[in-house]
Amino acid sequence: MRILVVEDDPDLNRQLVAALGDAGYVVDKAMDGEEGHYLGETEPYDAVVLDLGLPVLDGVSVLEKWRRAGKKMPVLILTARDRWSDKVAGFDAGADDYVVKPFQMEEVLARMRALLRRSAGHATSELTCGPMVLDTKSARVTVNGTAIKLTSLEFRLLSYLMHHGGKVVSRTELVEHLYDQDFDRDSNTIEVFIGRLRKKLGVDVLHTIRGMGYCVSEPDNAK
Sorted by where each begins, the domain ranges of the chain are: 2-119, 126-221
Q: Which CATH architecture has domain 126-221?
A: Orthogonal Bundle (1.10)
Q: For the CA atoms of 51, 52, 53, 59, what is the dihedral angle to 10 degrees?
A: 100
The CATH number of the domain covering residues in 2-119 = 3.40.50.2300
DSSP state of 220: G
Order the strands of the 146-148 sheet from edge to edge: 126-129, 132-135, 140-143, 146-148
The tens digit of pLDDT for each residue in 152-166 reads 889 999 999 999 988
Query: Cβ of 153: how many Cβ atoms within 10 Å?
Result: 16
| pLDDT at position 222 | 44
User: According to the model, what pLDDT value does residue 187 have?
Assistant: 65
Within the chain, which residues score under 50 in pLDDT? 221-223
pTM: 0.83
The per-residue pLDDT for 182 is 62
Q: What is the pLDDT of residue 143?
A: 95
